[in-house]
Amino acid sequence: MLQIIRNIFTGWIAVLFIALLIIPFAFWGITSYFGNSANIEAASVNGVDISLAEYQESYQNIRRQFQNISPILAQENEFVKQQTLDKLIDRILLLDIKNDLGLRVSNEQIRQAILEIPNFRNPEGFDTVAYNNFLLRSGFTAPMFEAEMREDLSLEQLQTGLLQTTIVTPVELRRIAAIEQETRDIRYATIEYGDFRDGVEVSPEEIQADYNENSGSYISPEQVKLAYIQLSLDDVAQDITVDEEDLVTYFESFRDRYSITERRKVRQILVYSEGEEELAMAESVANQIYDEVINSGMSFEEARNQHDGDEISVEVSDFGFLNQGVLDTEVDEAVFNAEIGVLSEPIQTDYGFQLVIVDELTGGVRPELSDVRGEVDTDYRRNEAEKRFFEIYDELAVLTYENPDTLEIASEVLGLDVQQSDYISRAGGSNLLLNNQKVLSAAFSDDVLIEGNNSELIEVSTDQIVVIRVIEHQPQRTMSLSEVEDSIREKLLFDKVSDITATRANEIIEKIRQGNDADVVAGEYSVIWTNKDEVSRTDIALDGQILEGVFTAETPAEGENTVTGVPLLSGDYGIVLIRNVNDIDPESLTDEDVADIFTRVMQNNASRAWSNILSDLKANAEIEIFEDNLN
């Protein structure tokens, strides 16, 4: 179908056709180019749809997180995919529980949570500019972000409630604390892999046999090499020529944007009222507090302590420095018209009655261009770049569509370099720009991979576009013996030598278990014991696998030893001899000893309960994954 369209719409007809398409985009912006994925479902949970766009955004976020933790895991497409689906499905199921339980988050709680986010604060308090910039970068409106916060806080309530209902008895706590503080006196030795490495050979016949038996494991995934043109707003901004006259005009038009915004340091007393029945009582309490603070010099904290109770709730908040527009309209107006140090009369809001006082103000200065030239220059460039960006975008869309078999023409006309990637699979590759689910989906689509056409323009971020084409394709294949011969040899060699170290260690262990003196046996096999007393579970001086072996070994009987073997990842084999276990009497532990582990035990128990809840929810939910839409 696409090829038929390409054959019909060529020359001036295509230009006219594309121009007509561009008209609505000029009004609705770049997002409308990519809106289709919002209508495609990735999954459905109890009738609630998860859109492909939502899945893709979450997929990229999780992949970036794993990139910082484990780049190898970040490349495992199926793993990241499953993590993404689990996260989205769990959220829907948990929100259902939250709604059933009637958990609510007040507007005041949301406001306070936003005010306390570190990225939205500066030394003077809440930073409105940082908050608004975040909203712009993230594509959120303030109501959208508050709705997201409401969901997050309600789920946090659910988890907190579960943690608070988790029970652990004092006896259990003391027993766990005693086990954790137990130490062991040990001797250990290691049968070294390197001692046997040189004497072991792997024959060509063994390599061939392994290859024949496991050829299905030696698969090179389908890969493509891409040519691509990248268009970014930052690159366009660098090419903008700044004219002094235009810069001055721009500054004068937006001078208020560069003013040092007036901020007011605000404290408040809030008298809650829930429903009409509490309104009169809340108003009466608020008026009483106003009189007491004004006439008696009562502090906010004293007023709260005196009036907060079961019948009425009173809260004190210190907002720090705030910009105008952060608080509710009525309160905001009172704050920015108030005299410093003068308490406002009670103001009725959706939450009840608020009394506010301004302790200090700062800012309110209008700068000259010379004071903020660097910032103005950056903003001017970006403003002009946004206009040019969409012009180039439209030209790039037309040129790559009209010339579907090459990127060179668009490159020459627009002055944008054609770059090339290394081979990448459906799971991605080393190029971070192209490690994007939308790019990878396009690269392996029929239109790009099979028909050999340029892709559509792909938005990899809010201000970065890429168009790709496949220049080389390697189908999935079984790698030849020559490609994997070295890795097979190393694998077989490791297995052989590890078997030797294990056999040698088990011989020593068996002789000791038969009652032979450990020192005599060690001398027979040229093994050197290392003695270490009072080894704890947190001992960092021991190899982690040896340490695990120490505390999984059986407790020796009185006057006897326990000996065990521990295979190590290096191919070495550890031998651990437990000489004595230093038990701790649970009753000898202090309250401080027990308190140290209380939170951790509670969290572990809550985590297990949380996991069980999610498992039960999934088992009883109607979950449908639309795999075809995810590939």
Please state the φ and ψ torsions of residue 198, each to the nearest 5 degrees.
-70, -25
Residue 588, CA atoms < 13 Å, CB-side half-sphere: 7
Q: pLDDT tens-digit profile of 27-42? A: 334 443 444 444 678 8
What is the per-residue DSSP string for 384-441?
Answer: HHHHHHHHHHHHHHHHHHHSTT-SHHHHHHHT--EEE---EETTB-S-TTT--HHHHH
Are 270 and 356 in a shared domain? yes
Q: Reply yes or no on whether the pLDDT at 300 is more than 70.
A: yes
Domain-located, residue 452: no
Please tell me the least confidently modeled range out of 4-13, 153-162, 523-532.
4-13
Percentage of the chain exceeding pLDDT 90: 33
Please state the φ and ψ torsions of residue 221, each to the nearest 5 degrees.
-65, 160
Are 292 and 358 in a shared domain? yes
Helix (H) or strand (E) run with residue 271 in it = strand 263-272
Buried b (16+ CB within 10 A) or exposed e, 531-561: ebeebbeebeebbeebbebbbebeebeeeee
Domain-located, residue 26: no
Is 490 buried (19+), middle (13-18) or exposed (0-12) by CB count in 10 A?
exposed
Q: pLDDT tens-digit profile of 526-559? A: 999 999 999 998 888 888 899 999 988 888 888 7
pLDDT band at 62 (very low <50, low <70, confident <90, very high): confident
Are 297 and 358 in a shared domain? yes
- Conformational region of residue 335, where left means phi above 0, alpha means psi within -120 to 50, and beta covers everything else: alpha
Domain-located, residue 540: yes
Chain-wide mean pLDDT for the chain? 82
For the chain, how many structural domains are there in total?
A: 2
Are 191 and 265 in a shared domain? no
Q: Reply yes or no on whether the pLDDT at 331 is more than 50.
A: yes
Domain of residue 322: give its range.
260-362
pLDDT band at 67 (very low <50, low <70, confident <90, very high): low
Last residue of a domain, one of 539, 558, 582: 582
Are 264 and 206 in a shared domain? no
Q: What is the pLDDT of residue 279?
A: 86
Are 190 and 273 in a shared domain? no
Please tell me the least confidently modeled range out of 17-26, 92-101, 560-569.
17-26
Domain-located, residue 83: no
Domain-located, residue 59: no
pLDDT band at 24 (very low <50, low <70, confident <90, very high): very low
Q: What is the pLDDT of residue 30?
A: 40
Q: Which letter does DSSP use for residue 310 in this model?
A: S
Last residue of a domain, one of 566, 582, 598: 582
Q: Reply yes or no on whether the pLDDT at 332 is more than 60.
A: yes
Q: Reply yes or no on whether the pLDDT at 447 is more than 90.
A: yes
Domain-located, residue 476: no
Please tell me the least confidently modeled range out of 102-106, 441-445, 516-520.
102-106
Helix (H) or strand (E) run with residue 15 in it = helix 11-28
CATH at 269:
3.10.50.40
Q: pLDDT tens-digit profile of 381-395? A: 888 888 888 899 999
Q: What is the pLDDT of residue 250?
A: 83
Helix (H) or strand (E) run with residue 230 in it = strand 223-232
Closest CA to 45 of 82, 83, 94: 94
Closest CA to 614 of 87, 90, 45: 90
Last residue of a domain, one of 582, 602, 622: 582
Domain-located, residue 203: yes
Is 152 buried (19+), middle (13-18) or exposed (0-12) by CB count in 10 A?
middle
Q: What is the pLDDT of residue 165?
A: 63
Are 286 and 193 in a shared domain? no
Domain-located, residue 240: no
Closest CA to 143 of 186, 117, 114, 174: 114
Q: pLDDT tens-digit profile of 221-274? A: 899 999 999 998 888 888 888 888 888 888 888 877 777 778 889 999 999 887
pLDDT band at 101 (very low <50, low <70, confident <90, very high): low
Q: Reply yes or no on whether the pLDDT at 519 is more than 70.
A: yes
Are 512 and 574 in a shared domain? yes
Total Cβ atoms within 10 A of residue 348 = 14
**Mean pLDDT value across residues 558-572:** 90
Q: Reply yes or no on whether the pLDDT at 354 is more than 80.
A: yes
| Residue of 508 and 144 predicted with greater confidence | 508
Q: What is the pLDDT of residue 162?
A: 61
Are 203 and 266 in a shared domain? no
Distance CA 191, CA 62 (A): 42
Are 496 and 557 in a shared domain? yes
Q: Reply yes or no on whether the pLDDT at 366 is more than 90.
A: no
pLDDT band at 22 (very low <50, low <70, confident <90, very high): very low
